[in-house]
A and B are shown apart, each in its own frame.
Chain A
Amino acid sequence: MRIALFITCVNDLAFPATGIAVTRILRRLGHTVDFPADQTCCGQMHANTGYRAEAMPMVRNYVDVFDSYDAIVAPSGSCTAMIRDQYPSLHPPATSVAARTYELSELLVDVLGVTDVGAEFPETVTYHPTCHGLRMLRLGDRPLTLLRQVRGIKLVELGDAEECCGFGGTFALKNPDVSTAMLTDKCARVRDTGARVLAAADNSCLAHIGGGLDRHRSGVRAVHYAEILAETGATS
């Protein structure tokens, strides 16, 4: 199977560790991963902010770059949801490649049939199900199923887990007061758990929640769950 990594624009620039983690997990499981260098961005920010025309060139570029692969994996629930939910109506030739685009946990659990990726991570972790993964992709407990198999991990349940963190893309900038009020509550629920690590499937949401946790020097680290699945306990 030819698997391509769609890193997403935010991860490429600010969170390369997540992409490195996805690469390591898949290689450890015996798969070859391609990274087509011509990839850019899924266009979600433009489309969801009201600039659909400006998003279209990115949509077409995605089809050009990824159409020849059997499976495309993105370490982001939100970008995957953009591709799967919006691409077919925005650009009908994208329908087929959109259906072959998976969020990491979908690729691992549904396509590759793996729940134990051989990870070890001796920390207390809580998991926030980000909205687009939860309600658009219906990821369900796939990410948690993967995390439960990690050696040494202590998973603690997050209160009001399914409530949005207040990021919402440009919402965070256009509605900073409401966004901050939602963030404050999310951070409080995270700290209630006593976990030292907050995991989620989207680094954009994590930049928001983690940015709030950092602001208050909370001592809680926000990481993409792929980085937990990549840890084997061995020094890398």
Chain B
Amino acid sequence: MNPPVAPATGGGRIRTPLPFPTAAKPAVADTQLRANLHRATRTIRAKRARVVDEVPDWEALRDAGSAIKADVQRRLPELLEQFEASATAAGATVHWARDAAEACRIVVALTRAAGADEVVKVKSMATQEIELNEALEAAGIAAYETDLAELIVQLGDDTPSHILVPAIHYNRAQIREIFQRRMADAPADLSDEPAALAEAARAHLRRRFLSARVAVSGANFAVADTGTLVVVESEGNGRMCLTLPETLISVVGVEKLLPTFTDLEVFLQLLPRSSTGERMNPYTSMWTGVTPGDGPQDVHIVLVDNGRSAVLADPVGRPALSCIRCSACLNVCPVYERAGGHAYGSVYPGPIGAILSPQLTGVADNASLPYASTLCGACYDVCPVKINIPEILVHLRQQAPHPPAERATMRVLSWVMRSPRRWAAALRLARAGAGPLGAYRERTTGARTLRRLPWPASAWTRSRDLPLPASQTFREWWEKQ
């Protein structure tokens, strides 16, 4: 018998091209980006808090959501087979994709088989993850995003920077500029009023909906006992894509399963309140295979692993697969608010991205992401499925490759601090060494602080004074009293 093989890691747009601190530097310095993010995250954060506060059993709902997802993770293989059987019985064709490349190949082949050279797309994280638009383009197939924010990002030759609000990094003046530059049928006198921008996009997209023969979607939920897929959205573009074309291809991460249809009761309460801060989302579309004479008659579901089995194999990191992509953790994260989504280098930014991306790729490929957090815990508090993000961040830091100088320093400090005798001696030494300097600084500047130190301590003193050891340590005071 062969030894068990470790599950494969994933590909696609889930790797940081630059370490997070390097990528964050220009973002922090971009005043327009900072203003856009500050305004948008605080607005959604306040909306979410308002509508969550009014639900008396919110904590019980979170517990239920967390428990259902944990159950799914415990018996995922069995539920996937059940889903395949239910969906197939209802007339859908289920495909299995090991990774991003295989998923893209399947969608390209299905689109070609339908005789189409263009597809309309429902907003979907999974297709962004596998870089489907790029694969379709390489195969000579045009992919048209129909979600307003995804359309903005696509026309701007950009990538999404937020899970729910992909164009959060733009303000309306920037969006008007993109539309005027790239949308041929935009009115010449287009203003930057939100209603005018939405109307321009609506007119632009209407022709696409009516002519498209193939639609590509993701799914928020896949129900094992019925074979139903669910898409939750706000604009109605999804409903158009899911009903008008003849062929519908849905790309679904294997973790999206729910055991039973009634489990939706929990998640359709948790998701809109956590996500857009609404009591209920405007459009919830559900379809189960093919309904003869109504909607798409050629229905395909591509179940994608792309690293998820590797996440599942780690019992501590596994809850990252519970994520329902609501973005509440992004909106409340002080690091995300300042660095923006692109700094995370993955379609999954923010706190959830910092634990999901490194697990999908293997930690070595995204080693800076588990450190892109102060462990303040705000994300854990708002997570509708109670993913303990700080705990998983700390867990992943154990696996991250450590810089040699840091490792050496940490080992020396540990060697000193594990011994009461060495630690007491080190305290005496530090006080004796830096004490006179501290006294001098206090005499000349009024504070026992240093204002400029060479690298690597400059990372501290660039923005903060550094306190020097006191004239006596606490234990010296204790012994003398």
Enumerate chain A interface residues (CB-CB to B < 8 A): 7, 9, 11-17, 19-20, 23, 35, 37-41, 43, 45-52, 54-55, 57-58, 61, 65, 131-132, 134-136, 162-164, 166-184, 207-208, 210-212, 214-215
Contacts and interface: CB of A to CB of B under 8 A. Distances in A.
B402 A173 contact: no
Contacts of A178: 21, 24, 28, 335, 338-339, 372
A194 B454 CA distance: 34
Contacts of B447: 214
A171 B374 contact: yes
B451 A215 contact: yes
Given A50-B400, A57-B418, A164-B378, 14 more contacts: A7-B474, A50-B399, A51-B414, A52-B398, A132-B377, A135-B377, A135-B381, A164-B334, A164-B374, A169-B375, A178-B21, A178-B28, A212-B464, A214-B465
A61 B334 contact: no
B474 A173 contact: no
B377 A172 contact: no
Contact of B418 (A17, A40, A162): A40
Contact of B475 (A35, A136, A177): A35
Contacts, number: 195
A14 B375 contact: no
B463 A176 contact: yes
Interface of A is mostly: helix
A182 B472 contact: no
Interface of B: 20-21, 24-25, 28-29, 34, 334-335, 338-339, 370-378, 380-381, 394, 397-400, 402, 406-407, 410-411, 413-414, 417-420, 423-424, 427, 430-431, 447, 449, 451, 456, 459-460, 462-470, 472-478
A49 B459 CA distance: 17
Residue of B381, B398, B417, B475 ringed by the most chain A CB atoms within 10 A: B417
A202 to B, nearest CB: 12
A88 B399 CA distance: 21
12 contacts: A14-B468, A35-B478, A50-B399, A50-B402, A55-B414, A163-B378, A174-B21, A176-B463, A183-B463, A211-B449, A215-B451, A215-B465
Contact of B449 (A16, A177, A182, A214): A214
A12 B464 contact: no
A199 B464 CA distance: 18
Contact of A16 (B413, B419, B474): B474
A40 B463 contact: no
A177 B420 contact: no
A175 B470 contact: no
Contact of A177 (B28, B466, B477): B28
Contacts of B406: 49
A181 B338 contact: yes
Given A131-B376, A175-B20, A178-B338, A54 B411 contact: yes
A12 B473 CA distance: 5
A38 B422 CA distance: 10
A208 B370 CA distance: 21
B417 A9 contact: yes
B134 to A, nearest CB: 30
A64 to B, nearest CB: 9
Given A58-B417, A61-B420, A207 B377 contact: no
B394 A47 contact: yes
Given A171-B371, A175-B371, A212-B463, A49 B410 contact: yes
A9 B477 CA distance: 15
Given A49-B397, A50-B400, A211-B464, A168 B418 contact: no
B349 to A, nearest CB: 13
A40 B378 contact: no
B418 A58 contact: yes
The 4 closest A-B pairs by CB, nearest first: A168-B374, A211-B464, A57-B418, A50-B397
Contacts of A37: 420, 424, 475, 478
Contacts of B380: 135
Nearest to A11: B474
Contacts of A43: 417
B25 A177 contact: yes
Contacts of B413: 45-46, 54
Contacts of B470: 13-17
Nearest to A64: B420
A4 B464 CA distance: 33
A108 to B, nearest CB: 19
B334 A182 contact: yes
B394 A166 contact: no
Nearest to B419: A40
Contacts of B467: 14-15, 207, 210-211
